[in-house]
A and B are shown apart, each in its own frame.
Chain A
Amino acid sequence: MAEERIIPAPPVNPESKPYWDACAEGKLLVKHCTACGKAHHYPRTMCPFCFSDKTEFRPAKGTGEIYSFSVVKRGPPIPYAIAYVTLAEGPKMMTNIVDCDLDSIKVGQKVKLVFKPVEDGSTQMPMFTPA
């Protein structure tokens, strides 16, 4: 088990606030476009595929698989794993892989959602751990 990294709070703006409010309650939201039917991440008001403004947040299943990752060993005081996880809803999201042996992480590995509190306690970051 890796020691826990101190996680800075995300900068929040009016557009992203619902996402971070949900994270604070332990829920991951994914933006869906009701015009073209596609999900995207990070969430936008306008769909980046069809540019419709008919987008809505829906709760994510909280599962996915590791698309790629890197274990950062130099620089920060505590090693950590950065990753892109392909969500069950389709989009890939940047995240950290946590609560596991970092040297055992593999591309294609199935993962599930966990939340880690940020430094100022304002919200929690959605992260993933081996399923």
Chain B
Amino acid sequence: MSINGKAYIMGAYEHPTRKAPDKSLTQLHAEVAKGAIEDAGLTKNDIDGYFCAGDAPGMFYAMGMADYMGLKLRHIDGTDTGGSSYMIHAAHAAMAIAMGKCNVALVTLAGRPRSEGQGVGTTARAPSAPIAEAGFEYPYNPALASMYAMCATRHMHEFGTTSEQLAWIKVAASHHAQHNPNAMLRDVVTVEDVVNSPMITTPLHRLDCCVISDGGGALIITRPEIAKSLNRPKVKILGGGEAIKHQNGGEFDLTFSGAAISGPAAFAEAGVTPKDIQYASIYDSFTITVLIQLEDLGFCEKGKGGAFVSDGNLISGVGKLPFNTDGGGLCNNHPANRGGMTKVIEAVRQLRGEAHPKVQVPDCHLALAHGTGGILGTRHGSGTLIMERE
């Protein structure tokens, strides 16, 4: 059994807002759902499967949202691996469709951390007592950004990776964001701009960090017969992979991510290799996140990520692997502090030929979206999704 060819992404919608103080969180979820349903050319009543994660408000997430939107469901999935949930939801939707459990799946994400004034990266979140690891971490103030910074420190130690190499990832994202009218940061930046920006948590500078934004996005995934009946380009799901990487009782290596597991699984199911991929959406909470995932996904050897990302290699029209052509989390948006949904949406745009003309990959027919959710340096969920234009 495989999900290869069993389902198609037929609707994709990204909310244009980046700051939504006058909207409720539930409303944002419903607005992105409506956008994706209309993009696909379907109606709400066609939806019989719903997928969401912990960013969905209301009683136990899916229940509250189903109530608000008036959904009549026969398949539900509240898998939550943080920002990578949405790659996993897409693969799970393909599985459910393949098994006949639903015909039209809706996936939603939304959040308003910017309006709520969350200091996400530099404030450790207070745990509740039942979390086993809480006492052994929280008193040390494991600020989220510092948990990525420790991965960068170790990667630099083992492989000689430099701040200038990491900076190229932000530079590439900024080259793309200049063409996105909705992006929060549209100014093109240089390597010098990044390494001269204030140090947040060594070795990561302010411009190594993603934005904090409100917003959201949604997907509609259907069975092949329904996809054929719709008047939209067909984006076929070829393969998916998922993994959880954790501290493993204290035996772990910070230079690897769960992508080393989820990536090969997705490639095997898709029947393609990293060199076949024409466009990649790569989770970019921080520059180091991108570098480690690119290595783990097999786009370059472990330890060679610094050289791989340098000199514009991730810039569309310039380098060999165009990435995050919407500007990504580093420049465009990071709704709900969960960047996986927008990664899938930009991959769909590329495959449809609907990316901005300045960043559109010519004849893009094979794309990958990969997410890391949770925290790179403690425990995280990885989701890899490979898609093809038919």
Do A13 and B143 touch (CB < 8 A)? no
Do A11 and B200 touch (CB < 8 A)? no
- Categorize the interface residue count of chain A: 35 or more
Chain B residue at minimum C-beta to C-beta distance from A11: B129
- Interface residue? B178 (CB, 8 A): no
- Interface residue? B74 (CB, 8 A): no
Which of A44, A73, A94, A107 is within 8 Å of B201, CB to CB?
A73
What are 21 A-B residue pairs whose CB atoms fall within 8 Å in the complex? Answer: A8-B126, A11-B127, A12-B135, A16-B132, A16-B135, A48-B248, A70-B152, A70-B153, A72-B145, A74-B198, A74-B200, A74-B206, A75-B119, A75-B200, A83-B150, A91-B250, A92-B250, A94-B140, A107-B157, A108-B157, A118-B139
Which chain A residues (4-25) contact chain B, with CB distance < 8 Å? 5, 7-13, 15-16, 20
Q: How far is the CB of A88 from chain B (nearest CB, A)?
A: 12
Q: How many residues of chain B are within 8 Å of chain A by beta carbon?
A: 48
Which of B123, B130, B132, B199 is within 8 Å of A73, CB to CB?
B199
Do B146 and A8 touch (CB < 8 A)? no
For chain A, what secondary structure do more than half of its interface residues adopt (helix, strand, loop), or is it mixed? loop
**Chain A residues with CB under 8 A of B157:** 68, 107-108
Q: Residue-by-residue, is B171-213 near A (CB-CB < 8 Å gives 1, otherwise 0)?
A: 0000000000000000000000000001111111010000000
Do B146 and A70 touch (CB < 8 A)? yes
Q: Residue-by-residue, is B149-170 near A (CB-CB < 8 Å gives 1, otherwise 0)?
A: 1111110010000000000000
- Interface residue? B131 (CB, 8 A): yes
Do B248 and A42 touch (CB < 8 A)? no
Which of A13, A47, A82, A118 is within 8 Å of B129, CB to CB?
A13
Which of B130, B140, B250 is within 8 Å of A96, CB to CB?
B140
**Chain B residues with CB under 8 A of A92:** 247, 250-252
**Chain B residues with CB under 8 A of A87:** 250
Do A12 and B142 touch (CB < 8 A)? no
Alpha-carbon distance A94/B141, docked complex (angstroms): 10
- Interface residue? A40 (CB, 8 A): yes
Alpha-carbon distance A125/B138, docked complex (angstroms): 11
Do A74 and B122 touch (CB < 8 A)? yes
Given contacts A12-B129, A90-B250, A93-B136, contact A107 B154 (CB under 8 A): yes
